[in-house]
Amino acid sequence: MAKRYKRILLKLSGESLMGNQSFGIDSDVLESIAGEVYSVTKLGIETGIVIGGGNIYRGLSAHKQGIDRVTGDQMGMLSTVINSLALQNALEKRGIYTRIQSAIKMDEIAEPLILRRAVRHLEKKRVVIFSSGTGSPYFTTDTAAALRGIEIKADVIIKGTRVDGVYDSDPEKNKKAKMFKKLSYLDVLEKDLRVMDLTAITLCQENKLPIKVFNMNVKDNLRKLVTGENIGTLIS
Protein backbone atom coordinates (compact mmCIF):
# COMPACT_ATOMS: atom_id res chain seq x y z
CA MET A 1 0.00 0.00 0.00
CA ALA A 2 1.42 3.39 -1.00
CA LYS A 3 2.19 5.80 1.79
CA ARG A 4 1.90 9.54 1.39
CA TYR A 5 4.19 10.51 4.27
CA LYS A 6 7.52 9.15 5.52
CA ARG A 7 7.44 10.79 8.96
CA ILE A 8 4.46 12.20 10.85
CA LEU A 9 3.83 14.00 14.13
CA LEU A 10 0.49 12.94 15.60
CA LYS A 11 -1.09 15.41 18.03
CA LEU A 12 -3.67 14.05 20.46
CA SER A 13 -5.54 16.02 23.09
CA GLY A 14 -5.70 14.69 26.61
CA GLU A 15 -9.48 14.96 26.36
CA SER A 16 -9.46 12.46 23.50
CA LEU A 17 -8.48 9.78 26.04
CA MET A 18 -11.55 10.40 28.21
CA GLY A 19 -14.13 8.78 25.98
CA ASN A 20 -17.51 9.45 27.61
CA GLN A 21 -15.98 9.94 31.04
CA SER A 22 -15.71 13.36 32.65
CA PHE A 23 -11.99 12.91 33.38
CA GLY A 24 -9.20 10.32 33.33
CA ILE A 25 -8.42 7.62 30.75
CA ASP A 26 -10.91 5.32 29.04
CA SER A 27 -9.14 2.00 28.40
CA ASP A 28 -11.27 1.28 25.31
CA VAL A 29 -10.31 4.62 23.74
CA LEU A 30 -6.67 4.01 24.61
CA GLU A 31 -6.77 0.61 22.89
CA SER A 32 -8.47 2.15 19.85
CA ILE A 33 -5.78 4.83 19.51
CA ALA A 34 -3.06 2.20 19.93
CA GLY A 35 -4.68 0.19 17.13
CA GLU A 36 -4.69 3.21 14.80
CA VAL A 37 -1.02 3.94 15.51
CA TYR A 38 -0.17 0.25 15.05
CA SER A 39 -1.73 0.23 11.57
CA VAL A 40 0.42 3.20 10.54
CA THR A 41 3.68 1.80 11.93
CA LYS A 42 3.07 -1.43 10.01
CA LEU A 43 3.26 0.67 6.83
CA GLY A 44 6.76 1.74 7.88
CA ILE A 45 5.79 5.33 8.66
CA GLU A 46 7.99 6.99 11.27
CA THR A 47 5.69 8.27 14.01
CA GLY A 48 6.17 10.87 16.71
CA ILE A 49 3.32 11.67 19.12
CA VAL A 50 2.55 14.66 21.32
CA ILE A 51 -0.29 14.18 23.77
CA GLY A 52 -2.00 16.76 25.98
CA GLY A 53 -2.96 16.45 29.62
CA GLY A 54 -6.38 18.12 29.77
CA ASN A 55 -8.14 14.90 30.80
CA ILE A 56 -6.23 15.06 34.10
CA TYR A 57 -5.24 18.66 34.69
CA ARG A 58 -5.27 21.99 32.86
CA GLY A 59 -3.05 24.89 33.84
CA LEU A 60 -5.63 27.48 32.75
CA SER A 61 -8.35 25.85 34.87
CA ALA A 62 -5.96 25.82 37.82
CA HIS A 63 -5.32 29.53 37.33
CA LYS A 64 -9.05 30.24 37.65
CA GLN A 65 -9.02 28.28 40.92
CA GLY A 66 -6.39 30.59 42.35
CA ILE A 67 -3.32 28.44 41.61
CA ASP A 68 -0.33 30.31 40.23
CA ARG A 69 -0.23 30.00 36.40
CA VAL A 70 3.32 28.66 36.32
CA THR A 71 2.52 26.02 38.95
CA GLY A 72 -0.69 25.06 37.16
CA ASP A 73 1.11 24.67 33.83
CA GLN A 74 3.78 22.52 35.50
CA MET A 75 1.02 20.30 36.91
CA GLY A 76 -0.44 20.09 33.40
CA MET A 77 2.95 19.02 32.01
CA LEU A 78 3.10 16.18 34.53
CA SER A 79 -0.37 15.10 33.36
CA THR A 80 1.00 14.65 29.84
CA VAL A 81 3.60 12.24 31.25
CA ILE A 82 0.85 10.10 32.82
CA ASN A 83 -0.96 9.98 29.46
CA SER A 84 2.29 9.17 27.65
CA LEU A 85 2.98 6.24 29.97
CA ALA A 86 -0.55 4.92 29.43
CA LEU A 87 -0.20 5.19 25.64
CA GLN A 88 3.25 3.61 25.71
CA ASN A 89 1.86 0.65 27.63
CA ALA A 90 -1.01 0.20 25.15
CA LEU A 91 1.36 0.39 22.17
CA GLU A 92 3.92 -2.01 23.62
CA LYS A 93 1.20 -4.57 24.30
CA ARG A 94 0.82 -4.61 20.49
CA GLY A 95 4.54 -5.21 20.02
CA ILE A 96 5.42 -1.64 19.00
CA TYR A 97 8.76 -0.41 20.31
CA THR A 98 8.36 3.02 21.89
CA ARG A 99 10.36 5.68 23.69
CA ILE A 100 9.06 8.52 25.83
CA GLN A 101 11.14 11.67 25.77
CA SER A 102 10.39 14.33 28.35
CA ALA A 103 11.12 18.05 28.18
CA ILE A 104 11.32 17.92 32.01
CA LYS A 105 14.06 15.74 33.44
CA MET A 106 12.67 12.51 34.94
CA ASP A 107 15.29 9.86 34.27
CA GLU A 108 13.52 6.97 35.98
CA ILE A 109 10.56 6.94 33.58
CA ALA A 110 11.54 8.83 30.42
CA GLU A 111 14.53 9.78 28.32
CA PRO A 112 15.56 13.42 28.29
CA LEU A 113 14.54 15.29 25.16
CA ILE A 114 17.53 14.87 22.85
CA LEU A 115 16.68 15.63 19.24
CA ARG A 116 19.31 13.45 17.57
CA ARG A 117 18.33 10.51 19.75
CA ALA A 118 14.65 11.04 18.94
CA VAL A 119 15.40 11.07 15.20
CA ARG A 120 17.50 7.90 15.54
CA HIS A 121 14.59 6.16 17.30
CA LEU A 122 12.28 7.21 14.47
CA GLU A 123 14.70 5.90 11.87
CA LYS A 124 14.69 2.58 13.72
CA LYS A 125 10.86 2.62 13.45
CA ARG A 126 10.29 3.19 17.15
CA VAL A 127 7.34 5.41 18.10
CA VAL A 128 8.58 8.44 20.03
CA ILE A 129 6.12 10.01 22.49
CA PHE A 130 7.12 13.56 23.37
CA SER A 131 5.83 14.44 26.85
CA SER A 132 5.87 17.48 29.18
CA GLY A 133 4.88 19.93 26.45
CA THR A 134 7.67 22.38 25.68
CA GLY A 135 8.96 22.09 29.26
CA SER A 136 8.04 25.74 29.85
CA PRO A 137 4.86 27.33 31.25
CA TYR A 138 2.59 29.53 29.10
CA PHE A 139 2.96 27.21 26.07
CA THR A 140 0.31 24.70 25.04
CA THR A 141 0.85 21.15 23.82
CA ASP A 142 -0.28 22.43 20.38
CA THR A 143 2.82 24.61 20.37
CA ALA A 144 4.87 21.63 21.59
CA ALA A 145 3.51 19.58 18.67
CA ALA A 146 4.45 22.29 16.15
CA LEU A 147 7.92 22.60 17.70
CA ARG A 148 8.60 18.85 17.78
CA GLY A 149 7.21 18.43 14.26
CA ILE A 150 9.63 21.06 12.96
CA GLU A 151 12.56 19.65 14.95
CA ILE A 152 12.16 16.08 13.69
CA LYS A 153 11.47 17.34 10.14
CA ALA A 154 8.04 15.68 10.00
CA ASP A 155 6.20 15.81 6.68
CA VAL A 156 2.97 16.82 8.41
CA ILE A 157 1.32 17.40 11.77
CA ILE A 158 -1.78 15.25 12.05
CA LYS A 159 -4.22 16.48 14.67
CA GLY A 160 -6.76 13.93 15.86
CA THR A 161 -10.11 15.33 17.00
CA ARG A 162 -13.67 14.15 17.69
CA VAL A 163 -15.03 15.69 14.47
CA ASP A 164 -14.25 15.18 10.76
CA GLY A 165 -12.15 18.31 10.23
CA VAL A 166 -12.24 22.08 10.66
CA TYR A 167 -15.68 23.73 10.58
CA ASP A 168 -16.89 27.32 10.50
CA SER A 169 -18.67 26.69 13.81
CA ASP A 170 -18.90 23.89 16.37
CA PRO A 171 -20.46 20.90 14.51
CA GLU A 172 -21.41 19.29 17.82
CA LYS A 173 -23.65 22.30 18.54
CA ASN A 174 -24.58 23.46 15.04
CA LYS A 175 -25.83 20.78 12.61
CA LYS A 176 -25.50 23.24 9.71
CA ALA A 177 -21.81 23.87 10.38
CA LYS A 178 -19.77 23.85 7.17
CA MET A 179 -16.56 21.84 6.96
CA PHE A 180 -13.51 23.18 5.14
CA LYS A 181 -11.48 20.73 3.04
CA LYS A 182 -8.56 23.13 2.65
CA LEU A 183 -7.43 26.28 4.46
CA SER A 184 -4.37 28.51 4.50
CA TYR A 185 -2.64 29.36 7.77
CA LEU A 186 -3.90 32.92 7.28
CA ASP A 187 -7.50 31.69 6.92
CA VAL A 188 -7.21 29.96 10.29
CA LEU A 189 -5.90 33.12 11.95
CA GLU A 190 -8.30 35.55 10.25
CA LYS A 191 -11.39 33.39 10.81
CA ASP A 192 -10.27 32.67 14.41
CA LEU A 193 -10.96 28.95 13.85
CA ARG A 194 -9.03 27.80 16.95
CA VAL A 195 -7.69 24.64 15.37
CA MET A 196 -4.45 25.17 17.28
CA ASP A 197 -3.26 28.19 19.21
CA LEU A 198 -1.76 31.25 17.54
CA THR A 199 1.86 30.34 18.35
CA ALA A 200 1.50 26.82 16.92
CA ILE A 201 -0.11 28.02 13.67
CA THR A 202 2.53 30.75 13.26
CA LEU A 203 5.36 28.25 13.82
CA CYS A 204 3.89 25.92 11.19
CA GLN A 205 3.40 28.80 8.77
CA GLU A 206 6.97 30.09 9.15
CA ASN A 207 8.39 26.59 8.65
CA LYS A 208 5.94 25.48 5.92
CA LEU A 209 4.77 22.50 7.96
CA PRO A 210 1.26 21.42 6.83
CA ILE A 211 -1.41 20.40 9.34
CA LYS A 212 -4.09 17.77 8.76
CA VAL A 213 -7.12 17.79 11.09
CA PHE A 214 -9.25 14.65 11.10
CA ASN A 215 -11.57 12.45 13.17
CA MET A 216 -9.46 10.06 15.25
CA ASN A 217 -12.55 8.16 16.45
CA VAL A 218 -13.34 6.63 13.05
CA LYS A 219 -11.69 3.23 12.64
CA ASP A 220 -8.87 3.11 10.07
CA ASN A 221 -9.08 6.88 9.47
CA LEU A 222 -5.42 7.46 10.33
CA ARG A 223 -4.22 4.73 7.97
CA LYS A 224 -6.45 6.06 5.18
CA LEU A 225 -5.14 9.59 5.73
CA VAL A 226 -1.45 8.63 5.57
CA THR A 227 -2.02 6.56 2.41
CA GLY A 228 -3.45 9.57 0.59
CA GLU A 229 -7.23 9.40 0.99
CA ASN A 230 -8.92 12.81 1.07
CA ILE A 231 -9.85 12.82 4.75
CA GLY A 232 -10.16 15.80 7.07
CA THR A 233 -8.99 19.37 6.53
CA LEU A 234 -5.59 20.38 5.16
CA ILE A 235 -4.01 23.60 6.46
CA SER A 236 -1.03 24.72 4.41
The confidence score (pLDDT) of residue 208 equals: 97
Rounded-to-integer distance, Cα 132 and Cα 81, Å:
6
Pairing relation of β-strands 7-12 and 46-51? Answer: parallel
Rounded-to-integer distance, Cα 157 and Cα 145, Å:
8
Rounded-to-integer distance, Cα 147 and Cα 42, Å:
26
Q: Give this prediction's pTM.
A: 0.94
Give the CATH architecture of domain 7-235: 3-Layer(aba) Sandwich (3.40)
The confidence score (pLDDT) of residue 60 equals: 60
pLDDT along the chain (236 residues), means of 10: 86 90 90 96 97 83 79 93 97 97 96 97 98 96 98 97 90 89 94 92 97 93 94 95
* 106-149 confidence digits (pLDDT tens): 999 999 999 999 999 999 999 999 999 999 999 999 999 999 99
What are the structural domain ranges in the chain? 7-235
- How does DSSP classify residue 165? S
**Residue 132 exposed, middle or buried by CB count within 10 Å (0-12, 13-18, 19+):** buried
The confidence score (pLDDT) of residue 62 equals: 67
- Chain centre distance of CA 75: 19
Residues in a beta bridge with 215? 161
Pairing relation of β-strands 182-183 and 233-235? Answer: parallel
DSSP secondary structure letters along 21-75: SSSS--HHHHHHHHHHHHHHHTTT-EEEEEE--TTT--HHHHHHTT--HHHHHHH
Q: What crossing angle do the helices spanning 198-206 and 141-151 adopt, rounded to 10°? A: 10
The confidence score (pLDDT) of residue 1 equals: 58
Nearest CA among 58, 56, 51, 50 for reference residue 74: 58
The confidence score (pLDDT) of residue 22 equals: 82
